[in-house]
Amino acid sequence: MAKVWQKNSEKLNPIIEKFEVGLDYLYDSKLFKYEIASSIAHSLQLEKIGILTKEEANDIVKTLKGLYKKYGNYFPLSQEDEDIHSKVESLLTQELGDIGKKIHTGRSRNDQVITIVRLFEKEEILITTLSYLELLEGFIKLAEIEGDKILPGYTHTKQAMLINVRFWLTGFIELGLDNIRLIKSIYELIDSNPLGSGSGFGVPLELDRDYTAKLLGFSRVQTSPMAVQNSRGKYESLIVDAFWNVMNDFSRMASDLLTFNMDELLFVKTTDAITTGSSIMPQKKNFDVMELIRAKANVILAYSQGIKSIINGLISGYNRDTQEIKELLIKSFVIVKDSINALKVVIENVSFDQDAVLEKLSKGIFATELAYKLVKEGMSFRDAYKEAAQKIENINITHSLAAESLKIRVSEGSPLTINLRKYKSMVEKEKKYFNDLYKQFTEKLSDLLE
């Protein structure tokens, strides 16, 4: 296929073509829906400013909608197609002749790619975040069922103070809500229309960028063409960073559960639905889904660093270096969504064994409460600290002692002060917010595509 930029019969060396296209065409295939939507919005704008007649715009829009109806969300590109933008323009030209050649008026592949990636990012953020909120609801449900069971809390990997399952899970729920706030701020940041910024220097036409922003569902225009180009990679690193924070929480939960599930402890019980076996050791029930989640958190961290490394020090304006970002971005969303879905299954297939915990508790885990008991009797904390260290070996560990240890801790956030209804309400509020955004986004795209 002739390239849209080809000016004569001389062809690009096939080795160079293969190297430059790389795997990008495979990822562009996944962005077909957004290319069609942005091309329809651009065509309607060209009609609005008088570049296309009404009849020409109608022909283009009809053809674009026909392509979407035929192929759906995915268009199978080949390496020779180079990218989705060139392929759609080629298909339009094949169908409409000279009218199809007008579609590129007022735009560049530089702003095209940022526009469709931005639309992809918006939808993927919303889908991923809604799934994540469902997982947080799952954490709350598990806390309601298993929450009163005791666990040891650790510092320096040594038993420190007694907690319960509700306390342990609430830490992840609250950090999850922090992650949601971060994701929300990044979504608001990227919700700006890059279409119409051209190659990065403006266009000699009076484009109506507010109009295309409205059609595509962007809340505002990203005004500066230079900012549009320089934001590529910057915005993607922020997105991947935000979801690394999610994965980082998952990795800590994974390490906790793997530790709790060690044969030496068995604080956590698992079902066969979430464990695998060994090809040689018949007794093995490996909780390796959590090992993979922990590993994938590091993969996301590497992708985030990879994006930053690609853009660091680039000269302002478009650079093809940024082509390499797309793969890292798309793979990041896949990994995060898969990890969320895996964890949804995990939390439905674990339970906690309070008797196993009690058997493994050290006497020292009750030392802090003993010290504060002496403080309440009038002793200075430092003297109480020393006396508790001497007396702690004389105690007998029982269920009633464990219950008392939790009961006397009354500061806000302590194990028995946690109000799960508060967290449930916060999660429900965020779900409504993101559901509303997702509905608005899908309605805008449907208006263009259908």
Would residue 278 show up in a list of annotated catalytic residues for this protein?
yes
Q: Which of 156, 279, 400, 411 is catalytic?
A: 156
Phi-psi region of 281 (alpha: psi -120 to 50; beta: other; left: phi over 0): beta
Would residue 197 show up in a list of annotated catalytic residues for this protein?
no
Q: Mapped to the 3 state alphabet, what secondary structure does the chain carry?
A: CCCCCCCCCCCCCHHHHHHHHCCHHHHHHHHHHHHHHHHHHHHHHHHHCCCCCHHHHHHHHHHHHHHHHHHCCCCCCCHHHCCHHHHHHHHHHHHHHHHHHHCCCCCCHHHHHHHHHHHHHHHHHHHHHHHHHHHHHHHHHHHHHHCCCEEEEEECCEEEEEEEHHHHHHHHHHHHHHHHHHHHHHHHHHCEECCCCCCCCCCCCCCCHHHHHHHHCCCEECCCHHHHHHHCCHHHHHHHHHHHHHHHHHHHHHHHHHHHCCCCCCCEEECHHHCECCCCCCCCCECHHHHHHHHHHHHHHHHHHHHHHHHCCCCCCCCHHHHHHHHHHHHHHHHHHHHHHHHHHHHCCEEECHHHHHHHCCHHHHHHHHHHHHHHCCCCHHHHHHHHHHHHHHCCCCHHHHHHHHHCCCCCCCHHHCCHHHHHHHHHHHHHHHHHHHHHHHHHHHHHHC
Beta-carbon contacts of residue 118 (< 8 Å; ≥ 6 apart): 190, 192, 194, 218, 235
Backbone angles phi, psi at 106, to 5 degrees: 85, 10
Please state, in angstroms and rounded to a whole number, the distance separating the CA atoms of residues 87 and 102.
Answer: 15
Q: Which of 185, 219, 224, 278 is catalytic?
A: 278
Under 8 Å between Cβ of 346 and 290: yes
**Could you give the residue numbers annotated as active site?**
156, 278
